[in-house]
Amino acid sequence: MCEKLKIELEYNCATISFTLDIWTAPNRVPIFAIIAHWITPEFEEREVIEFIELKRSHTGKQLAEIVERTLEELRLKPKLLAITGDNAGNNGTLCQSLYDSLKTKFDDKVSPIGRPCMRFHGRKSWIRCLAHITSLICEGVLQDLKAGTAKEAKKMLDNRSGIAKIRLLNLWMLRSGSREQDFKSMPRTHYRKPTYDVDTRWNSAYDMIDQFLELEAEYTEFVDTHPQVKCLLPLSEEIVALYQLWKVLKPFKDHTLKVSEVMPPISQSLDIYWDLEALLMM
């Protein structure tokens, strides 16, 4: 760790919060990043303080050890206020394991024996990512509507589900370079690639339906020239159902984009909760 950063955090930082994220790089290497949030002398609000390849499994206990080591190196243990992460169970375990370790050295309230206090309180200090919560609600809506996931597409085809049909049709296009090119070369597609929903990609079901409804005529033209997949073109009543589903999913897409802005105010979360509650109570 940079000695300059240690000095800055020691003298200019009273409290600090972390945002944690794990993802798999294109070379299939799992990466764990820690972004610290505090006000710097230049009035910047965040900085990446750890970026590490995970060589073991991603258990909450093992991630907690990395976070605690980072806190130790920067002398930040009593200053940690909160951790923001998605709703994965290992994040809850991480926060609890970190708390259990810290409370052996610090008190979480005024100590009668004079031990230093800490501000981090385990799961109570875990701030769950609103965009991820929105995605989970959306998944629940899709399951209730029996839209399913990509893995269930073939089973759903027996029920002639419109969303399963366009999913399989798009995948069929993408399995062949010539078929994909046939679709992309039509005037209104503007070389847009057929999109399909992926379980881990937020709003991908909405994006897939939105593309189909916008380019319905192009899909029909494509199927006319590839009659072997005519059974995958949604029927008129299924298109009506897709449009109704599009209207349900659009607010989730809009709210996800809103909270994914560079600096969304925390006050937006209340409006989003109220809007989604009103939508789901309809």
Give the domain extent around 150.
134-281
How sure is the predictor about 251, in pLDDT bands with cuts at 50, 70 and 90?
A: confident
Same domain, 119 and 189: no
What is the amino acid identity at position 271?
D
How sure is the predictor about 111, in pLDDT bands with cuts at 50, 70 and 90?
A: low
Same domain, 26 and 123: yes
Same domain, 157 and 275: yes
User: Which of 73, 103, 128 delimits the end of a domain?
Assistant: 128
Give the pLDDT of residue 254.
85
Name the nearest CA neighbour of 207 among 220, 221, 219, 193: 193
Same domain, 138 and 276: yes
Structure tokens at 3: 């000695």
User: Is a pLDDT exceeding 60 seen at residue 247?
Assistant: yes
Same domain, 163 and 75: no
User: Is a pLDDT exceeding 70 seen at residue 280?
Assistant: no
Domains: count for the chain: 2
Give the pLDDT of residue 145.
54
Q: Which residue has better confidence, 260 or 147? A: 260
User: Which of 83, 106, 128 delimits the end of a domain?
Assistant: 128
User: Is a pLDDT exceeding 50 seen at residue 156?
Assistant: no
Pick the range with the lowest mean pLDDT from 42-51, 186-195, 211-220. Answer: 42-51
**Average pLDDT value over all residues in the chain:** 82
Give the pLDDT of residue 245.
86
Same domain, 89 and 192: no
Same domain, 167 and 55: no
User: Is a pLDDT exceeding 80 seen at residue 177?
Assistant: yes
User: Which of 128, 148, 172 delimits the end of a domain?
Assistant: 128
Same domain, 17 and 150: no
Same domain, 147 and 247: yes
Pick the range with the lowest mean pLDDT from 10-14, 32-36, 170-174. Answer: 10-14
Give the phi and the psi of residue 122 in degrees, each rounded to 5: 65, -135
Give the pLDDT of residue 158.
41
Same domain, 138 and 273: yes
Same domain, 63 and 190: no
User: Is a pLDDT exceeding 60 seen at residue 85?
Assistant: yes
Among 103-107, 197-201, 273-277, which range has the highest average pLDDT?
103-107
User: Is a pLDDT exceeding 50 seen at residue 41?
Assistant: yes
Dump the DSSP string for the chain: --HHHHHHHHHH-S-EEEEEEEEE-TTS-EEEEEEEE---TT---EEEEEEEE--S---HHHHHHHHHHHHHHTT-GGGEEEEEE-S-HHHHHHHHHHHHHHTTTSBSS--TT-PPB----GGGGEEEPHHHHHHHHHHHHHHHTT---GGGHHHHHTTT-HHHHHHHHHHHHHT-HHHHHHHHTSTTTTTPPP----TTSTTHHHHHHHHHHHTHHHHHHHHHH-GGGGGGSPPHHHHHHHHHHHHHHHHHHHHHHHHTSSS--TTHHHHHHHHHHHHHH-
User: Is a pLDDT exceeding 60 seen at residue 1?
Assistant: no
Same domain, 197 and 100: no
